[in-house]
Amino acid sequence: MPQTNKYYAFQPATSGDAIFGIERLADIEDELRVLHEAHYNETETLYLDTPFDASYDRYRASEAAGQFILFTVRLGSTLVGYLQYYVFNDMHTQMKQAREDAFFVVAEHRGQKLAPAMLSYAEDALRQLGCTMIGMSSKAPVGGPDLGPFLEKRGYKPVAIFYTKKLEG
């Protein structure tokens, strides 16, 4: 396992050269920024004309408060994907939930079953942390990868269609 990474909360899982774990954004922010920007450029610029400007201060604060969890996949020591969640008690039911913020595997490593393995690892960890519901999203309507079939195969059900409108001036 890479010596520079500080996995925490749960033992990392391995599959061949892949290592799945939970890492602190604060510990890997520089390498994560590169993947965040690539992810943003692949999905968000298709419908949004706002430049990438993630609030890493807010991510770190949410992480410190136990409201943000970052799952990672590495090949050797190289970060090649992440699945990040906000964790909260639902205002309507008080159920502890995890809502996906971003799910990404770099293009050259897709098709190697890293995404399903990372999602399984995350589901198991979130269950152990007391989450009873997980929310995931798909950017298919704006040209991103269609995660619907991938998620439905794993027992997820579509429950809403989310609309946005950019307010001008």
pLDDT tens-digit series, residues 126-157: 999 999 999 999 888 877 778 999 999 999 99
Residue 45 has pLDDT above 90, yes or no: no
Contact 11, 19 (CB under 8 A): no
Give the pLDDT score at 1: 40
Q: Which residues contact 34 (CB under 8 A, 6 or more apart)?
A: none
Q: How far is CA 97 from CA 69, 83, 121, 130, in A?
A: 12, 15, 16, 8
pTM: 0.92
Report the C-alpha gap between 103 and 164 in whole angstroms: 20
In this prediction, residues 48-58 reach a mean pLDDT of 88
Q: So where are the chain's domains?
A: 13-153
CATH number for region 13-153: 3.40.630.30
Scored b (16 or more CB within 10 A) or e, 96-108 reads: ebbebbbbbbbee
